Structure 1
Amino acid sequence: MPQPTPEQLRAALATLADPASGRDLVSAGRIDSLQVKDGLVQVALRVRREEAAAMEPVRRQAEALLAGQDGVRNATVILTAHRDTPAPTPPQGHARGHAHGDPRQQPKLLAEVGAVIAIASGKGGVGKSTVATNLAVALAGRGLAVGLLDADIYGPSLPHMLGVTRRPEVRDDKMLPIKVWGLEAISIGFITAPDTAMIWRGPMVMGALQQLMEQVAWGKLDVMVIDLPPGTGDAQLTLAQRVTLAGAVIVSTPQDVALADARRGVKMFETVGVKILGLVENMSFFCCPECGHRTEIFGHGGARAEAARLGVPFLGEIPLLAGVRESSDSGTPIVISAPENPAAAAFQALAASVQKAIGR
């Protein structure tokens, strides 16, 4: 069955009313973007932040309507709040800092969480999501109420690593986080089809990230682990401004190119006033499963030396073992699937260090 055209989908959305203006969603200018490819539909509805609660029922109606169209395999509708036009610069001598849309002036998100930890890396490919997942599960195993938030909108990997394929339920206009492996988790990947490509502009990504923080019924948590996208971009800056962070854990591999990026990550968080809990050296060394011979494929000790140079704690070494890859692919974190594995022991030691650092 052929997929519908964007024009046909817009015509369908035009049957829904905008609660603010009474006009239909299309003529009211609510459609920020609409994309359809291979039967997968992605729509962003433009809203102001104060309209988000009133527009949530409309978002669900739009998602159900689009999902029911012939030729649509999956439909995802999000609310995206664009930054308001800044207020004019006040005359000299008047108070500053009250411009609309300034994230530093908006209420803090995740305010009920005891400690929010950012897991970051200066570059991709260093195993940051593997570290975030196993750290969160290990913290939960230590008796803490733990949340795990996948902030990588473009490349969500937590659904695969946690073995989750179901969509979260919605209750009282809020998503319920998925309960798995002793923690509560949410990811844009729980909502979209696995092969969906997020072809979104920056404001849309920030809107989706904010929804994952404030439109999810997280409840009272001791710790929230946030798996950030790699780099030092909008997501990292927005998080630092909108969330009171207990600190950041920087993940690197031992080689110089990764350490240079990790150094930038440390400097970025320090610039915005976020404490560095420490550096983790992932893929620190490889042990042959047959003979036990140790090989330092990417070098060794670089993160420890870099932590000492920067004056931040070194949180440990995670070995490169086949069991880590196998457990991630199977959707069972290695601290659960093989607690006796040396990598699992390293993750447990990391969790103990992080728990001590945040005082929980």
Structure 2
Amino acid sequence: MNKADKQLAAVVAEVTDPELRRPLGQMGMLRGAAVAGRAAQVLVALPSRDWPAAGHLEDAVATAACGIAGIETAVVEFTVMNEAEQTALRAQLIGDPAATAGTHEGHGHAEGRAVPFAQAGNKTRVLLVASGKGGVGKSSVTVNIAVALAQRGIRTAVIDADVWGFSIPRMLGVARPPTVIDQMVVPTEAYGVRCMSMGFFAREDQPVIWRGPMLHKALEQFLTDVFWDDPDCLLIDLPPGTGDISLSLAQFLPRSELLVVTTPQPAAQKVAQRAAHMASRVNLQVRAVIENMSWFCGDDGKRYELFGAGGGQALADELDVPLLGQVPLVQQLRSGGDVGKPITAEYPDSEAAGIFREMARLLCEEHLPTRRYNEGLKLL
């Protein structure tokens, strides 16, 4: 390889793949780089045939190559990693199943290894978003807080753990399924939020008829076989109530914190208490209450409390936690969820978007400081 070829290879090796968030050289994806006159030729190995970042990489590599003095055109070609190369890539990203079974060096459900977010020293903050009953807008709250966190530069991910009523992909506007590299799932991303959901594996009109052990295993895979890339914050949208999924997640993620979503009406508040009391029974910390559908503003500018008032504050007082925020009832919040345009991103000047941003700020800065653990402290 001559000097020009080496310079081209060095430049292209630093191009970052947006799915894996790693440079091509580090991932072993750069397979060839050559300069002929004023033209560059680059060969890139994609992790899979349907790699969603292929178009982006073609443009990014060509731009990087043409940024070198003397190069005017660039041709980018692709090949696909073979099975052995995919296995090596998976091992690099989340650990080698054969080498790490029974240790903390890797993770994967089939080998019975620990959930990475539960490991001592793991810096990801896990927030479980719960409600006692359905219909209170818990998933809308989850999505918009996630988007607001991402807007603050927080690396954010969401797991849609409501396997019966999955809705997160639709609310984020994610149309394509995640990609798979040697049984490692690379999650999809929208509005800066990575997500995983049963909705990627079942049609919207297809019921998920599973008993507890299957639910437990599916959640374990979502936590261990997905390349989450160490997010700063992981939000998990729980199904309503206090069933198998909530108990499994309490077991998988004993350090997680609970946000309870309710509406102002006393009936919803009383039911939401059960989710909070379940958390205390399994030693999860309830961190805050969020009240949704708090009021509706009419054309006359007057607030109408359609579902009553005070339920969120009453629940927060009973649990001795802060009321993180009150979200108004607005059409854009509902319609945005239906068509994959979260109000926090698409209508940033709206009152509701401002409230979600303020809740994200409070989560980061004030009421809810991130837990800190002493990595040197181990219980025998």
After TM superposition, the score normalised by the length of structure 2 is 0.65
Distance (Å, rounded) in 2 between the aligned partners of 1:140 and 1:172: 29
Kindly indicate whether residue 150 of structure 2 is the aligned counterpart of residue 143 of structure 1.
no
Asked whether the equivalents of residues 109 and 243 of structure 1 are also in contact (C-alpha less than 8 Å), the reply is no
- 1:249-277 CA distances to partner (integer Å, 9 max, x unpaired)? 00000111111111111111112111111
| DSSP-derived class of the 2:295 partner | strand
Equivalent residue of 1:276, what SS? strand
SS class of match (2:293): strand
The correspondence of residues 63-74 of structure 1 with structure 2, limited to 5 A, is: none
1:107 is matched with which residue: 114, 126, 146?
114
Task: For 1:244 and 1:217, locate their aligned partners in 2 and report how far apart those are by CA, in whole Å.
Answer: 21
Q: State how far apart, in whole Å, the 2-side matches of 1:303 and 1:143 are.
A: 29
User: Take 1:205 and 1:310, find their aligned partners in 2: how far apart are those partners?
Assistant: 29
Q: Residues 24-72 of structure 1: CA distance to partner in whole angstroms, max 9, x if unpaired?
A: xxxxxxxxxxxxxxxxxxxxxxxxxxxxxxxxx9xxxxxxxxxxxxxxx
Contact 1:119 1:132 in 2 (8 A): yes
Unaligned runs of 5+ residues in structure 1 are 1-56, 58-104
The separation in 2 between residues aligned to 1:106 and 1:123, in whole angstroms, is 33
Kept in 2: contact 1:108–1:244 (CA 8 A)? no
2:357 paired with 1:339:
no
CA deviations 1:139-159 (Å, max 9, x no partner) are 111111111110011110111
Structure 1 segments (4+ residues) deviating >3 Å: none
How far is the alpha carbon of 1:246 from its aligned partner?
Answer: 3.6
Give the Cα separation in 1 of the matches to 2:345 and 2:255. Answer: 27
Instruction: Look up the match of 2:231.
Output: 221
CA deviations on 1:152-187 (whole Å, 9 max, x unpaired) are 111101111011121110013211010111111111
Cα separation, 2, equivalents of 1:359 and 1:215? 25
TM-score normalised according to structure 1 size: 0.68
Q: Tell me whether 1:262 sits opposite 2:266 in the alignment.
A: no
Q: Which has the higher contact order (CA 8 A, sep 6+)?
A: 1
Q: Structure 2 vs 1, CA of residues 273 and 226 (structure 1 numbering), >3 Å: closer, same or farther? A: same
SS of the equivalent of 2:117 reads: coil
User: Structure 2: how far apart are the matches of 1:113 and 1:194?
Assistant: 34
Select which of 344, 361, 365 maps to 1:352. 361
Identical aligned residues as a percent = 42
Could you give the per-residue CA deviations for residues 57-97 of structure 1, whole angstroms, max 9, x where no partner exists? Answer: 9xxxxxxxxxxxxxxxxxxxxxxxxxxxxxxxxxxxxxxxx
Using the TM superposition, give the Cα deviation of residue 202 of structure 1 relative to its aligned residue in structure 2, in angstroms. 1.9
- The structure 2 residue matched to 1:248, chosen from 258, 269, 275, is 258
Task: Please identify, of 339-348 and 202-211, the stretch whose mean Cα deviation from structure 2 is larger.
Answer: 202-211
* TM superposition shift of 1:346: 0.9
What is the alpha-carbon root mean square deviation over aligned residues?
1.7
Structure 1 position 152 matched with structure 2 position 159: no
1:272 corresponds to: 282
Structure ID, larger Rg:
2
Q: What secondary structure, in the 3-state scheme, does the structure 2 residue paired with 1:110 have?
A: helix
Whether 1:311 and 2:320 are equivalent positions in the alignment is: yes
Gaps of 5+ in 2: 1-82, 84-111, 372-380
Residue from 184, 193, 197 that aligns with 1:183 = 193
| Equivalent residue number for residue 161 of structure 1 | 171
Tell whether the 8 Å contact from 1:122 to 1:230 is kept in structure 2 after alignment. Answer: yes
- Confirm whether residue 171 of structure 1 aligns to residue 181 of structure 2: yes
**Matching residue's letter, 1:321:** V
Match runs of 1:287-306 below 5 Å: 287-288=297-298, 290-306=299-315
1:153–1:208 contact (8 Å) kept in structure 2: no
- Alpha-carbon distance in 1 for matches of 2:285, 2:169: 29
SS in 1 for 2:175: coil
Q: State the secondary structure of the residue aligned to 1:320.
A: coil
Deviation at 1:109, TM superposition (A): 4.4
| 2:187–2:196 Cα contact (<8 Å) kept | yes
Residues 1:234 and 2:244 aligned together: yes
Alignment of 1:187-206 (within 5 A): 187-206=197-216
Q: Partner letter of residue 319 of structure 2?
A: L
Tell whether 2:338 aligns with 1:329: yes
Q: Is the 8 A contact 1:246 1:358 kept in 2?
A: no
Residues in 1 aligned to 2:313 and 2:242: alpha-carbon distance in whole angstroms: 21
* Contact map agreement 1:119 1:250 (CA 8 A) in 2: yes
Q: Would you say 1:208 and 2:218 are equivalent positions?
A: yes
